[in-house]
Amino acid sequence: LTEFREASGFGDALAALEDNPLPHHLVVRPDKSASGPAEIETLRRYFEAFPEVDVVQLDLEWVRRLHSLLDVMRRSLWVIIAVLGLGVLAVIGNTIRLEIQQRRPEIEVTKLVGGSNAFVRRPFLYTGIFYGLGGALLATLIVVGGMAYVDRAVGVLAAQYGGTFRMTGLGREGMGILLGTGVVLGWLGALISTGRHLRRIEPRA
Amino acid sequence: MSGAVSSYGTRHLQALFGALGRLARAPLATLLTLIVIGVALRRLPTRR
């Protein structure tokens, strides 16, 4: 009744009622892990089975649409992840390839005096790791700086609509994932590039 | 055995600092590469 009084605007008229004439109602919010259309349908059947329950109101069509939309977004996100990950690998791989070309005479001499491929590869792998780590740190700075810049304006806009929406940053976990991803991609890009190009460099007689 | 491990570690440290030094000797090129990588990495989703 309180909710109805606030939403309907019949405050004075409702004050004349001695007790609540409206039937009881329960609002059930399913857990995140059970928010799929099939689970929600099961939940509806479960509540309908109670003899005390008259009506179970649920717009399953909207739940299905929302899940389809989320599925499209999730798949698009994976495509973006793959493309950007490949982009990072390509940038690091190409940078390492240029470094290998630049240091070709040095690599030839190292191999001539018995330096193994692993020995020659090692500095390039570290370079790749530093590129990945540095790029990830820069990405973190861009995200944190961007969030801080936009946050105040978003807060003001949200307040005008009566909300308290705030931008949340990456968080420690997000930063850890970003830095880890950067290091792994840097190392992998360097590994692929050195694997391809170092084999071709052999000391000339 | 410990000598071999120590020598292996030393070679890794040499490679690590050598790579850092080479990056530091070409700061502009390094920065430009880092910006490209950083902008690409920024778009990767990192939220749960």
Cβ contacts of A181 within 8 Å, gap of 6 or more: A136, B41, B44, B46
- For residue B46, the model assigns a pLDDT of 54
Cβ contacts of A21 within 8 Å, gap of 6 or more: none
Q: What is the ipTM of this complex?
A: 0.81
Contact B42/A at CB under 8 A: yes
- For residue A138, the model assigns a pLDDT of 93
CB-based contact B22 A99, cutoff 8 Å: yes
Average pLDDT over residues A59-77: 87
pLDDT band at A44; cut points 50, 70, 90: confident
Cβ-based neighbour number of residue A40 at 10 Å: 19
* CB-nearest partner of B43 from A80, A132, A171: A80
Residue A47 clears pLDDT 90, i.e. is over it? no
CB-based contact A84 B34, cutoff 8 Å: no
- For residue A144, the model assigns a pLDDT of 87
Cβ-based neighbour number of residue A109 at 10 Å: 11
Chain A residue with CA closest to B35: the answer is A135
Residue A39 clears pLDDT 70, i.e. is over it? yes
Average pLDDT over residues A183-195: 93
Q: Which residues of B touch A127 (CB under 8 A)?
A: 19, 22-23
- For residue A130, the model assigns a pLDDT of 94
Type of residue at A27: V
CB-based contact A77 B45, cutoff 8 Å: yes
* Top-confidence residue, A132 or B46: A132
- For residue A124, the model assigns a pLDDT of 94
Residue A148 clears pLDDT 90, i.e. is over it? no
How far is residue A129 from each of residues A21, A168, A189, measured CA to CA in Å?
A: 69, 28, 9
Instruction: Note the pLDDT tens digit of each residue in A82-108.
Output: 898 899 999 999 999 999 998 898 888
Q: Give dist(CA A62, CA A35) in Å, integer.
A: 12
Q: Which of B11, B30, B8, B10 is nearest to A96 (CA)?
A: B30
Q: Which residues of B touch A137 (CB under 8 A)?
A: 38
Q: Which residues of A touch B41 (CB under 8 A)?
A: 84, 88, 135-136, 138-139, 178, 181-182, 185
CB-based burial label for A54 (10 Å; 0-12, 13-18, 19+): exposed
* Top-confidence residue, A101 or B46: A101
Least trusted range by pLDDT, from A14-18, A96-100, B34-38: A14-18
